[in-house]
Amino acid sequence: MMQFTLNNGTQIPSIGLGTYRLTPEDCEVAVEHALNHGYRLIDTANFYMNERAVGRGIKKSNVKREDIYLTSKIWPCDFGYQKALKAIDDTLERLDTPYVDLMLLHQSVGKYKDAYKALEVACEAGKIKAIGLSNFEGKELQDILDIATIKPVLIQVECHPYYQQKKLKQQVEKDGILLESWYPLGSADKNLLEDPLFVKLADKYHKTVVQVILKWHIQYGNIVIPGSKNPVHIDENFDIFDFTLTDEEMQEIDALDKNHRYFKVPRFIQKMAFQAIRLNYNKQK
């Protein structure tokens, strides 16, 4: 399995299991299966309400904790310095682990600058090994880069062949910040999955269209975290390291960029929702 080197000198697997929208029951089984079939990166979040299940799946697997790259995220209702410090400790308790390898701020609203400072303190204390951002861009991203004494190692955003995030990649590459895609398949959009170019490449390499798209991501320099509870799909998503797209094929895919985002929530609705939500994460199963 290919790994990427982060700007703090550590390495992260190029592909992992995303757990968004997985129920605790499905999540526990999926995590155990993924780890026992080669995966070493697991991505979860406070908001997903399945951190306890992730912890159980890790414990049930045949993989040592130190060999797993575990990521979680703090939700904006826990932003602010003291709230974020508590949220970190609560996350470790739910995951049943003394540390996480990467902790992200989940959205760019609220007191995100204070929360970032809390992440830096937790990083210095060894509770988290690295800091990242999710769904930050523009001014909010620059706000963090301006105050950071510990650089974010990656930014997790929507990214796929129809929305390649070229401007964002250019903005962060000077700081060695990598992109991690939480929508690597464009929400499984039919137009993308049936694009003639990917159908042709899948036939050429005797792979599925999904496998070709995931391979494009990694060759493009993106970390990917496709989510699934289906063990067949989990295994297929990982089976992408026995072929390489040519430079010409990468250029053809580059030309597919439509700057088309699938996940769209108006900014004012985001802020209203984050101000209203108060989830008791500790009651999750």
Terminal Cα distance for the chain, rounded: 32
Phi first, then psi, for residue 127 (nearest 5°) are -75, -30
Active site residue 48: yes
Calculate the alpha carbon distances from 13 to 27, 41, 116, 154, 218 in Å.
Answer: 20, 6, 24, 13, 10
- Selecting among 39, 48, 112, 281, the annotated active-site residue is 48
Which string of DSSP letters, residue by residue, matches 122-142? HHHTTSBS-EEEES--HHHHH
Point out which residues pair with 227 in neighbouring strands. Answer: 18
Phi first, then psi, for residue 224 (nearest 5°) are -125, 145
- Side by side, the strands of the sheet bearing 222-224 are 17-18, 41-43, 69-74, 102-105, 131-134, 154-157, 178-181, 222-224
- Cβ pair 154, 6 in contact under 8 A: yes
Catalytic residue list:
48
